[in-house]
């Protein structure tokens, strides 16, 4: 599993011990005292509303930031580890650490890329067909993995089907049916741990709305 570092900025980040699957990096509602840079592993961000419905807001790979969603000084979502992760904490101590980052702009660029990812997910969610949303997710996730130097045809799915369905705005039954249809068409090979794209052009066509 590759490890990614933020160039020139490791020294202002605080390296943490590895987090094991299922553990929380930070919790919604707690005082927001740090941003976290994911170096390895996969992290999901999620929030629960007052009715108790969970919403999965994102899956985060190495080189990405989590803990950026804050309201009135408290985290608006939780960061949960899906696959053993190492992260760097950037303490938001209002005393100059952030300044060093901002100065060199790498931090702001990470935030800006995060925004872009989010708006792409918005675009995906605004698709009405479940097939289009799964295909769009495969396309977009493949691109993210490729940027990390991984295989873009082999999408790891450390998250549960429930989490993925929630993230894609559909029920688990619908997700199961869509993956079933894609498998029957020979487009993908779905296992618990991976979604392997066998016919990239067919998937790309079905997720064409994600090509900016």
Which spans of this chain sit near DNA (rule: CB under 7 A)?
128-131, 160-162, 169-180, 190, 192
Rounded-to-integer distance, Cα 56 and Cα 125, Å: 13
DSSP characters for 106-167? HHHHHHHHHHHHHHHHHHHHT-S-HHHHHHHHHHHHHHHHHHTTS-TTEEE--S-HHHHHHH
Partner that binds at residue 10, options DNA, its own copies, none, CB closer than 5 to 8 Å by kind: none
Answer for which of 53, 184, 192, 201 binds its own copies (CB under 8 A) is 53
Nearer to DNA, 146 or 171 (CB): 171
Rounded-to-integer distance, Cα 81 and Cα 137, Å: 20
Q: What is the DSSP letter of 173?
A: H
Answer for which of 31, 55, 148, 151 binds its own copies (CB under 8 A) is 55
Residues 6+ apart with CB under 8 A from 107: 6, 9, 90, 98, 101
Q: Cβ 180 to its own copies, closest distance in Å?
A: 20
Q: Is 122 in the site for its own copies (CB under 8 A)?
A: yes
59 to 98: interface string for its own copies, x by CB under 8 A: ---------xxxx----xx--------------x-x-x-x
Q: Cβ 143 to its own copies, closest distance in Å?
A: 11
> If we measure between CA atoms, which residue out of 87, 86, 90, 85 comes closest to residue 108?
90
Answer for which of 25, 166, 188, 203 binds its own copies (CB under 8 A) is 166
Answer for which of 125, 172, 198, 204 binds its own copies (CB under 8 A) is 125
Q: Cβ 193 to DNA, closest distance in Å?
A: 7
Q: Which long-range contacts (CB under 8 A, 24 or more apart) does 120-125 make?
A: 120/210, 120/212, 121/58, 123/209, 123/210, 124/168, 124/209, 124/210, 125/168, 125/169
Rounded-to-integer distance, Cα 204 and Cα 211, Å: 9
Partner that binds at residue 180, options its own copies, DNA, none, CB closer than 5 to 8 Å by kind: DNA
- Positions in the binding site for its own copies (CB under 8 A): 32, 47, 49-51, 53, 55, 57, 68-71, 76-77, 92, 94, 96, 98-99, 101-103, 105, 108-109, 111-116, 118-119, 121-123, 125-126, 128, 166, 169, 208-212
């Amino acid at each position: 599993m590759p490890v990614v570092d933020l160039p020139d900025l490791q020294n202002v980040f605080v390296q943490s011990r590895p987090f094991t699957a299922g553990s929380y990096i930070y919790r919604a509602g707690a005082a927001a005292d740090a941003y976290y840079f994911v170096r390895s592993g996969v992290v999901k961000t999620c929030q629960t509303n007052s009715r108790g419905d969970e919403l999965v807001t994102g899956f985060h790979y190495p080189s990405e930031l989590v803990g950026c969603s804050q309201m009135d000084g408290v985290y608006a979502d939780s960061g949960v580890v899906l696959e053993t992760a190492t992260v760097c904490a950037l303490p938001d101590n209002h005393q100059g650490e952030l300044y060093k980052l901002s100065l060199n702009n790498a931090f702001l660029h990470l935030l800006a890329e995060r925004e872009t990812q989010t708006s792409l997910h918005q675009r995906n969610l605004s698709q009405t067909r479940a097939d289009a949303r799964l295909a769009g997710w495969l396309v977009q996730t493949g691109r993210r993995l490729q940027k990390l130097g991984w295989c873009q045809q082999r999408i790891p799915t450390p998250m549960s089907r429930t989490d993925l369905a929630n993230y894609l705005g559909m029920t688990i039954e619908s997700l199961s049916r869509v993956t079933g249809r894609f498998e029957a068409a020979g487009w993908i090979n779905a296992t618990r741990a991976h979604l392997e794209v066998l016919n990239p052009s067919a998937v790309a066509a079905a997720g064409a709305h994600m090509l900016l």
